[in-house]
Structure 1
Amino acid sequence: MPIPSDIISEIRDRADIVSVIGQYVHLRQRGKNFVGLCPFHTEKTPSFNVSPELGIYKCFGCGKSGDVFTFLQEYNGLSFLEAVRTVASSVGIAIPEGAEQAPSPADEHRRQLIRALEAARDYYRSQLEKHVAAQRFIHDRGLSQAMVERFQLGAAPPSWTALGDALSAQGFAIDVLRDAGLVAIRDDGSQYDRFRNRVMFPIWNTAGNVIGFGARTLSNDPNEPKYINSPQTAVYDKSATFYGLHLARHKIVHEQHAVIVEGYMDAIALHAAGIEHCVATSGTALTEQHIEILRRLTKRVVLVFDGDTAGWNAAHRAVGLALRSGMSVDVVILPEGEDPDSLVRTRGVEIARQQLSKRLSPIEFLVAWSKRTNDWSRPDIATQQIRALAEMLTPVPDSIYRVLLLRELSDRVGIPVDLLQRTTPAHRVHQPQRNQRVPSPKHSEPPTTPPPPAPILPEEVELLKAVLLSRNAAQTLFDEYVFDPATLPTASARQLLEAVAEQLQTDSSQRPPGSALPDLNIPDHVRTLAEWLIFTHEFPSPRWSDHGIELDRDRHLRRLLDDALGKLEERRLKHRIEELTKQLQQQPDNVELLQQIKRLNELRIQLTNQTP
């Protein structure tokens, strides 16, 4: 049976949406709400708004909106049921036994794969103490039991079928184990374990579910690959997965930058050294998807790569990706032959921290990389390389950051900034002809909150804000004033108020009507209007209390409601007077019309005197 709606509502109401979204997005408070860079599209100006009071979010850049469940569904790729269970667990609400929601076939398949992968994780962990070579590896790498537990390390036995046999005995079908990347099938139909005689590193998604494995060989066979990884599956995409991100994301948001390393052991070593805002790529080079994932949490990354040629080249590619994505980036190139793991293990935590503090700016690194790989003593080569470096900065989206980078490049290579700018393709394409007037630059970044998405009257704006943000105001409007939504002048306002009135009749909670916005049955343009009303309302500053003036929030919204009703009534009277005046022009001797107009004018004057 489905989860009862009252339990879903209780879970939603108990959840701290700022805390949940804050695990993935760096949020800062602005008035009653919080804002940050949208995790669903690329932007430079924060347009992602979160209302802790109503438990909803809205991005005015890409239009994404919803509640705490919607966010987890879209960000982590969860089904609705998975999102509800995740939030329920965090707020300590038990979901009744047997409460289910029929998942789609694709969701069910994903759940089966994750269950199989987590069962494999448990099996590998159970084998660790039995595997002498794996224990020796753990000891030689100086890993504490705490780190072994934190990263759930395990061991795959040398057997060709041990894992498959164990999981089959638990009821997992062979096709599920195959699709999870745990076993492979021979041409004759027999199966064998993909990972054998290896230390196993579980790989998680951002929700903390196991989605794959990295595996380090324990064999002395020189033909055996040192590391292998799970293949691409329905739940594991190595080009969009960071190792350890679910453990690091809180620290990344707190430290306001992420440290990226190349290997599993490198990430574990830095976590052990207290550098917990560290992640590693998962068996692949850094990709645009990787950068986009981190950009949701921070705008700054520090690359820590090995000092060999492969490390330099990987860092060069990663710097280009980061700059094109609008990220600030620094680089740490370790001494040749060292990696973060060996540095911590052989030279200690303090020396490792000192080494990691020796960061190169992107320009400092790019010039060093170019001089390492090219002969700058030849003017033609130096010219070619300087031009290439300047062109590499062309895609940097932030114009100020781009100019600052060009200035640093100018200082390092001794070429004036204006000359460097003239060498770039963008400058050559957009260079104005002589005497051509150059338009002044305009601020092109999208505003944090756009203008009203639907044409409604100012007094309708006030009334709807009061009703959406205060249950007391809404109940006063309908129960005390017996207001009819059909009397509102504009269609969008009428549709929204009618939906709120209907929701109040079925919702027994005391939450503001705006918190039920994701559940309202309204057209998209009306929903967008409601979101705009909620996130653009400014309450009186709480700083008034510093002067001994306490402002009651409900009283403020009730006053807003009363003012709006007064203005709407004044508008209605004015419109009626205009209608009667037109009739009087056709019937100048109609005394009754004249008396009606007089009475309505008196009412309008009284109302005007009462309305501030």
Structure 2
Amino acid sequence: MISQSTIDTVFETARLEEVIGDFINLKRAGSNFKGLSPFSNEKSPSFMVSPVKQIWKDFSSGKGGNVVAFLMEHEHFSYPEAIRYLAKKYNIEIEETEQSQEQKQEANERESMYLVSEFAQKYFQSTLLNTDEGQAIGYSYFKERGFTSETIKKFGLGYSPEEWDAFSKEALGKGYKLEYLDKTGLTIVREDGRNVDRFRGRVMFPIQSMSGRVLGFGGRILTNDKKVAKYLNSPESDIYHKSKVLYGIYHAKQSIAKLDNCYLVEGYTDVIQLNQAGIENVVASSGTALTPDQIRLINRLTKNITVLFDGDAAGLRASIRGIDLILEEGMNVKVCTFPDGEDPDSFAKKSSYEELTEYLSSNAKDFIQFKASLLMDEAQNDPVKKAGLIRDIVTSISKIPDRIQREVYIQECSRIMDISEQVLVSTLAQLVQKDITDAGKKQKEEQKAKAMQPVVEEMPEVKQSADDLSGIEYEIVKALQLYGDMECEFKNIYTKFDEYGEEVTFTEVQACKVYEWIYLNLQEDEIEFTQPTFSALLKQMIEIYLNKEIKQENFINNFSVDLQGLVSDIYMEDDKYLLSGWEDKQQIPVKMKDMTVEEHVTQIIFDLRSRLIKKLIHELMTQVRPEPEADNRDVMQDIMDYTELNRNVLKRIERIRTT
């Protein structure tokens, strides 16, 4: 178990903007940073990071919190895993206390699968480097490919022995459970009870997440056995979804964000060879057809993709289908092909860094130019084929969400293909309208299907309350969070009657901190919050203020993970307007309250009192019996007393507003 002193050091050292910057391309927005949400598919940034408060907020999904909460949401880390990740990033030594047997058993399935995968990667690399079989077969293969020892270690490359169950025996002997060896696909449990290694006699390529966690493996066989697949990947599991993973993203993410461009290739060795040659902003789709999820992964880091194709013209026609998917995501795409007989791996192997960068820069074509040059060879002088080619290009243009960008591409297509721009615009309009119609039909079908299902009304827990007090309770915890430690002078306004029976008002000033004023007033009236989340937040806030010295930059770290989202909501509520440049576009400043902190806090406390009194009056009204013989005197007296009390409260609220 990680010691509290280590956790405190991690929180004091870690910089939220640096950690999130490893996963998302952030841009300055005033005193904050903004970027595209990593939790939803969006074209405009709705993700905000506050370096001062060390909190983040994703307005598209509603998620938010501190640096650990981000890692838990984005990378699906457990709390200890997130702390370990940060400790490693900032070179903090981890102090641990002895774990009980119960705590050891609490590790969930995902964590166990990650642990098994990490062990497998180390085992395969050790076998490659330290055994005769690994050296003779695996290591010699990588050396033939031109990979250096440093590159082999950097990418965690390895080798799985030819023996049927060498890995499985080693893992089981080290205490790893067969259940998780099976679930990760590393071991195949046969019906006869025998455990067999999935990857036998293969060189191993570990597939890592953006944070460097081992998710699965790709294994290449080195024999010419046509009955066996050349490449074998880990099966889908709770931690490995091949359609959502890009090979090399862990090593490429910083370079992609820095250079604002991502090179996309097909294979593992393409990535490794280019990286070794100095081109680090490169990833691969791991031999699968490119998917929207993979494109969105890149979209978090850059808007620009350059697709690298080898010189095999036969495969190009099928490969360029992925370009339309990239365009649909609103990204800019270029294409670069290598000479006949060359692929990114072979070309990078024989070229210097300067030659490689020059070639990529000079030969990267706009996708229209690339499609035109590729398909024109097929069309030759056939007008029907040429018309089909033009329609193919316009179809790609129709996928682009931005209208201005579409128009620019139409002009470019008109110039290259020597065809009227008006005809292209007309064709584009037809295709766009068809897409809209199809989308409308799909939406209607989904609505119809939804209407057939039982209606279950789901209301956000934080926003609703049976007594309609959630709004005012939210305002109280918000004031407590934003101003709790602030010293203020609060006015207590009293009224009494003088000797002539005239009402006289006098004011008493009380100096104290905001949290003390709120706490004392709630205790005085024995007020309990009706909304469970706000009640829990109120309790934790009061305890924090009573027991700790508060600092803005680590305030959020004091709360349980389930409450951090609400705390970040409150902090970032006003900052969301910066995301769309509201003030610049509309020339309307965000409205702020025209009252002091003291006035605002006092008003919301008295508003709550008034609403609670009205609630009591309503409950008493239901007790009034309509029968003529019924004795309602006591109830009616209570109603009159509470009505008078509420009138006085409302007077005090009005005086606060006018003083």
Interval of TM-score (by shorter of Structure 1 and Structure 2): 0.7 to 0.9
Q: Which residue of 2 aligns with 1:74?
A: 73
Q: Which one has more relative contact order, counting CA pairs under 8 Å at least 6 apart?
A: 2
Tell me the distance in 2 between the aligned counterparts of 1:18 and 1:101.
Answer: 33
The worse-fitting range, judged by mean Cα deviation, of 492-501 and 76-85 is 492-501
Q: Which residue of 2 aligns with 1:114?
A: 117
The residue type equivalent to 1:367 in the other structure is A
Equivalent residues in 2 for 1:462-541, closer than 5 Å: 468-469=481-482, 472-473=485-486, 476-479=513-516, 484=521, 498=538, 501-505=541-545, 508-512=548-552, 515=556, 519=560, 530-533=570-573, 535=575
The residue type equivalent to 2:513 in the other structure is T
Q: Which residue of 2 aligns with 1:400?
A: 404
User: Are the aligned partners of 1:11 and 1:88 in contact in 2 as well (CA < 8 Å)?
Assistant: yes
1:386 aligns with 2:423: no
The residue type equivalent to 1:323 in the other structure is L
Post-superposition Cα deviations, 1:142-187, rounded to whole Å, max 9, x if no partner, equal: 2222111211222233333332333333233444333332233445
Q: Which residue of 2 aligns with 1:248?
A: 252
| RMSD over equivalenced CA pairs, Å | 4.4
Tell me the distance in 2 between the aligned counterparts of 1:133 and 1:421.
Answer: 58
Q: 1:485 to 1:354 in 2, by over 3 A?
A: farther
- Secondary structure at the counterpart of residue 155 of structure 1: strand
Post-superposition Cα deviations, 1:335-365, rounded to whole Å, max 9, x if no partner, equal: 1211111112234433322222210111112
Post-superposition Cα deviations, 1:62-120, rounded to whole Å, max 9, x if no partner, equal: 32222222211221122233223322433415252235586464335424533443343
User: Are the aligned partners of 2:537 and 2:563 in contact in 1 as well (CA < 8 Å)?
Assistant: no
Match of 2:415 among 398, 408, 411: 411
Q: 1:397 to 1:128 in 2, by over 3 A?
A: farther
Post-superposition Cα deviations, 1:251-310, rounded to whole Å, max 9, x if no partner, equal: 111111211111111111111111111112223121112112111222111111212135
Tell me how far 1:319 sits from its aligned partner.
0.8
The worse-fitting range, judged by mean Cα deviation, of 419-428 and 50-59 is 419-428
Equivalent residues in 2 for 1:137-536, closer than 5 Å: 137-221=141-225, 224-357=228-361, 358-372=363-377, 374-424=378-428, 425-428=430-433, 468-469=481-482, 472-473=485-486, 476-479=513-516, 484=521, 498=538, 501-505=541-545, 508-512=548-552, 515=556, 519=560, 530-533=570-573, 535=575
Q: Which residue of 2 aligns with 1:58?
A: 57
Q: Which residue of 2 aligns with 1:42?
A: 41
- Secondary structure at the counterpart of residue 131 of structure 1: helix
Q: 1:62 to 1:417 in 2, by over 3 A?
A: farther
> TM-score scaled by structure 2?
0.71
The residue type equivalent to 1:530 in the other structure is I
The worse-fitting range, judged by mean Cα deviation, of 131-140 and 275-284 is 131-140
Q: Which residue of 2 aligns with 1:96?
A: 96
- Secondary structure at the counterpart of residue 307 of structure 2: strand
Tell me how far 1:224 sits from its aligned partner.
4.8
The residue type equivalent to 1:121 in the other structure is F
> TM-score scaled by structure 1?
0.75
Tell me the distance in 2 between the aligned counterparts of 1:252 and 1:288.
Answer: 18
The residue type equivalent to 1:478 in the other structure is Y
Q: 1:193 to 1:465 in 2, by over 3 A?
A: closer
Tell me the distance in 2 between the aligned counterparts of 1:244 and 1:356.
Answer: 19
Q: Which residue of 2 aligns with 1:133?
A: 137
User: Are the aligned partners of 1:464 and 1:533 in contact in 2 as well (CA < 8 Å)?
Assistant: no
Gaps of 5+ in 1: 432-452, 539-556, 573-596
Percent identical pairs in the alignment equals 29
Tell me how far 1:312 sits from its aligned partner.
1.2
Tell me the distance in 2 between the aligned counterparts of 1:466 and 1:396.
Answer: 45
Tell me the distance in 2 between the aligned counterparts of 1:193 and 1:4.
Answer: 38
Tell me the distance in 1 between the aligned counterparts of 2:189 and 2:576.
Answer: 58
- Secondary structure at the counterpart of residue 332 of structure 1: strand
Q: Which residue of 2 aligns with 1:549?
A: none
Gaps of 5+ in 2: 437-462, 488-511, 579-592, 609-647
User: Are the aligned partners of 2:476 and 2:604 in contact in 1 as well (CA < 8 Å)?
Assistant: no
User: Are the aligned partners of 1:340 and 1:352 in contact in 2 as well (CA < 8 Å)?
Assistant: no
User: Are the aligned partners of 2:125 and 2:159 in contact in 1 as well (CA < 8 Å)?
Assistant: no
Tell me the distance in 2 between the aligned counterparts of 1:477 and 1:501.
Answer: 12
- Secondary structure at the counterpart of residue 96 of structure 2: coil
The residue type equivalent to 1:63 in the other structure is G
Q: 1:135 to 1:531 in 2, by over 3 A?
A: same
Tell me the distance in 2 between the aligned counterparts of 1:235 and 1:521.
Answer: 23
Q: Which residue of 2 aligns with 1:578?
A: none
Q: 1:54 to 1:345 in 2, by over 3 A?
A: same
